[in-house]
Structure 1
Amino acid sequence: MNVEENVNIRNGTGIRKKRRLWLKIIGGILRALVLFVGIVFIVHVISKGVEKNKIETYGQYVTVDDKQMNVFIQGSGPQTIVLLPGQGTPSPVLDFKLLIDELSPDYRVVAIEPFGYGLSDTTDKARTTENIVSEIHEAVQQLDIGRYILMGHSITGLYGVSYVNSYPDEVLAFVGIDSSVPNQPGMDVKLPLKSMQLLQQSGLMRLLQKVSGDAYASLDYDEHTKEQMRLITNQVGGNATLMDELKHLGSNFKNGEQLTYPNELPVLLFVQSNNEQNEQWVPLHEAQVKQSAQGLMIPMEGSHYLHHTKYKEIAEAFKDYMKHIQ
């Protein structure tokens, strides 16, 4: 064996040793990741079981499509507000609590938790605008509410314009809290639904929320309400009904992009004035209120969840608006 062959053998042996070393390192990392994800999942499953027993019920159930839909009623004023949540809000009733407390001295407030939300059942029925609107209307009928003001956050802007056109003789006015506009751009984007659901079901979302800090820390909710919202978030987040609603988001906007409010319907829109992601946000709402002979837009600086921080201002401006249109 000459010197060159001997060097080649040593080099080959060295390469194989390095390859085996790297394979061991990579294998170790993969095993550690699998172990980590497994621990996160087990903790998530155990925690969900424990937390479920800590959730306190609120409101009452009405039967819609042979399922239970949770509604919460507060106040006994002469007029009724039907209050609807933004897309994916874990506990609509608790999320709206600050605003409900401000409105209920003068109005009867009925907060509805659609299927998949809060304490309501889930459903296999497709989350099309038509089905969602029909179910909410059935809940309103079960409560024997004749005439009412429709108020809601975010996605209610899409469902609401369909609702008022479907039941024009029932709705006295529409009030949007940074509500969606049917023709707003960018709603045809494909969402990574499987990844979103995996994050939730694996427990990784729970972990991310834990390390990212308390989203409710700076808000005016009492500590008990904050804790209940966290518990419900971990229970309902990523359920099949909410995922199906996200799946239908693009088609729901596409099917509703030509819808407008009836000219005779009073429309009041509270709009986030500092939306940096969509420079057309305020102009879109300005155009929308012009559809109503009594339309009014009130810009407010804050997050998309204006009712978390501007609940007093929203309640005061709403009451003033209702006095002027009557």
Structure 2
Amino acid sequence: MEWSDLAETDRTVENIVREMRAALSKADIQGPYILMPHSVSGIYSMYYADQYPEEVKAVIGIDPTLPGALDYFNESPPSMPGFLKYVAPSGIGRLALMIDSRNFLPEAGEGTYSKENLDQTKAISAWKGYNRNVVAEANAIKKNIDQTKDMAFPADMPVLFFTKEQARRLLMGRTMSHSLKRSSRLNQRAGWCRWTAITISTGPVQWK
């Protein structure tokens, strides 16, 4: 997103998916597509697959957030204060990166990303980090979840999720993989989707 031009439209799920479809069309990339959502874009993939099933061949998510996640984990929707949209234009973001870049870089083991990858991430963060679209999108998450909570992946659509189990676990035994499976079940109108999750841990890969 932060490579993208800034949009003047509201950050609704309808507008975001419409812009995705327009970009694919303009680039002359023909569907059907395999969607690969991460984080909040899981909500957009749900909307895309529900509204335009003929355009989606499969969904492969990497720690995606689905509409039922907040209720399942009993969490409040995230939000960002409006002043953050001034971080990049004012140069504060560049200064913060110079002082300590750790909060701007992906969490990964040593050697996972090359120096070129990390330098590129720093440059993007200084240039467009926390821009007005990012802030507006964060503050629209609750509305977009409400918009998609009754939608579904089509029953004949292959769905594969990768999730790091330790990322979210509550005392009641609630886990990310169970949250994804539960959301897929609850959102199925026409039976079961062809659903699989792979839990990534410090040990061997576990199939659920």
TM-score between both structures, scaled by the size of structure 2? 0.77
Which of 176, 186, 194 lines up with 2:82 in the alignment?
Answer: 194
1:1-326 counterparts in 2 under 5 A? 114=1, 117-118=2-3, 120-142=4-26, 143-185=28-70, 188-189=76-77, 191-214=79-102, 215=105, 218-276=110-168, 279-290=174-185, 291=188, 292-301=192-201
Structure 1 residues 190 and 148, CA, compared in 2 at 3 Å: closer, same or farther?
Answer: closer
Work out which of the two has the higher radius of gyration on C-alpha atoms and give 1 or 2: 1
Q: Which amino acid aligns with 1:283?
A: H
The RMSD of aligned alpha carbons is: 2.7
- Please list the CA deviations of residues 214-248 of structure 1 after superposition, one character each: whole Å capped at 9, or x if unmatched: 43682433222321221111111121121211221
Identity percentage of aligned residues: 25
Q: CA deviation at 1:184?
A: 1.4
Q: CA deviation at 1:283?
A: 1.6
Highest relative contact order (Cα 8 Å, sep 6+), 1 or 2? 2
TM-score between both structures, scaled by the size of structure 1? 0.51
* Cα distance in structure 1, aligned partners of 2:184 and 2:68: 14
* Cα distance in structure 2, aligned partners of 1:161 and 1:285: 12
SS at match of 1:259: coil
Judge conservation of contact 1:154–1:177 (CA < 8 Å) in 2: yes
Q: CA deviation at 1:250?
A: 1.4
* Cα distance in structure 1, aligned partners of 2:80 and 2:193: 41
* Cα distance in structure 2, aligned partners of 1:161 and 1:134: 13
Q: Which amino acid aligns with 2:14?
A: E
Judge conservation of contact 1:172–1:266 (CA < 8 Å) in 2: yes
**Aligned residues, how many?**
188
Judge conservation of contact 1:273–1:300 (CA < 8 Å) in 2: yes
* Cα distance in structure 2, aligned partners of 1:154 and 1:189: 13
Structure 2 unaligned regions, length at least 5:
none
Q: Which amino acid aligns with 2:177?
A: V
Structure 1 unaligned regions, length at least 5:
1-113, 303-312, 318-326
